[in-house]
Amino acid sequence: MGLKKIDTNIITGFLGVGKTTAIIKLLETKPENEVWAVLVNEFGEVGVDGALLNGKGAYVKEIPGGCMCCVAGLPMQVGLNLLISQAKPDRLLIEPTGLGHPKQIIETLTNKHYRDLLSLKSVITLVDPRNLNNNRYLENDNFNDQLAVADVVVANKTDQCHELDQQRFKHHLEHYDPPKQASGWVSHGQIDPHWLDFDHQNTPIKPSHYHTTKPSEHKTKGALPAPAMTLEKDERFTRRENSGQGFFSCGWLFHGGAEFDYNKLYTLMTGLTADRLKAVIKTNNGVYTFNSVAGVLSMTPITDAADSRIEVINDTALPWDQIEASLLNSVID
């Protein structure tokens, strides 16, 4: 009798749609007798999502610094093999970067190396319905690719939507043939765990939905992603930048003893108009996660964090030196 295959799901969606929050919610539904693992990929190199997922009841492995499908999927395969061997999971959740290409990830998961090891279940794509009226998203190949390969499409952040957004969402789904296996209208990432168990249907991608991109055209700097950022002994902070696929990122990691002035930090965060900002930061008012999409900031208090991590992503390079100076000015000596 062969070994039971690992049920595997891809949870995808564009920048800032709420993928990590959705995975955290899913982990709350994990059966007690099962081991789950999460392979998470970030465009930046700081590893904020990994920090948010740690301690949530699953093994977590990060692939920071770019798209996990680049370089013929080698970064993904290395991380995947390590996670499988260490965790021996019953279920594997894969969260690609919001700038990722799930079509290539699916091809990796179903190739000869994993065919007898993994059972690819539903690909779940989250979407902010408000973006279905924005040509910046509708004309983006990654955005359309993520929707095209999905078995389940979930409208998230619906508490911020209007009736017209819901109508656009329903209308958009009508164009897929075959139709999606399920769809949802949720807020705060409340994915129905039953959706995980649908089998992936290998739907051919129509040219209108997917534009073939050569790896050389979308890979980020370097042959392989760097490991998650760490500090050298006695180092106060470090910074790394990344670029590719028409986007730029800059991330900072501050040592665990650094404490930020909450008011100064809040002023800095609300003043940034980046496409995406995410952070876990220790302040004199407690530990907070910061999330900003297109300049709209939200904050959530959390119990603790090992250190402070900030990642900013934008379609143009921002004045990173000035942002860093403001961050340093917010640190309480």
- Strands 276-283 and 308-314, bridge-based pairing: antiparallel
Model pTM?
Answer: 0.84
- Strands 59-63 and 36-41, bridge-based pairing: parallel
Average pLDDT along the chain: 86
Question: Confidence class of residue 220 from pLDDT cuts 50, 70 and 90?
Answer: very low
User: How far is the C-alpha of 262 from the C-alpha of 268, rounded, in Å?
Assistant: 10
- DSSP H or E stretch at residue 323: helix 320-330
pLDDT-wise least confident of 39-43, 82-86, 141-145: 39-43
- DSSP H or E stretch at residue 126: strand 118-127
pLDDT-wise least confident of 168-182, 218-232, 246-260: 218-232
CATH 3.30.1220.10 intervals, the chain: 231-330
Question: Confidence class of residue 197 from pLDDT cuts 50, 70 and 90?
Answer: very high
For residue 8, the model assigns a pLDDT of: 97
Question: Confidence class of residue 327 from pLDDT cuts 50, 70 and 90?
Answer: very high
- Segment 5-16, tens digit of pLDDT: 999 999 999 988
Sheet harboring 237-244: ordered strands across?
237-244, 247-254, 308-314, 276-283, 286-293, 296-302
6-217 folds as: Rossmann fold (3.40.50)
For residue 166, the model assigns a pLDDT of: 96
Question: Confidence class of residue 66 from pLDDT cuts 50, 70 and 90?
Answer: low
For residue 229, the model assigns a pLDDT of: 59
For residue 70, the model assigns a pLDDT of: 56
Q: Is the pLDDT of residue 231 over 50?
A: yes
Q: Which residues are CB-neighbours of 185 under 8 A, at least 6 positions away?
A: 155, 158, 166, 169
Per CATH, the homologous superfamily of domain 231-330 is: CobW-like, C-terminal domain (3.30.1220.10)
CATH 3.40.50.300 intervals, the chain: 6-217
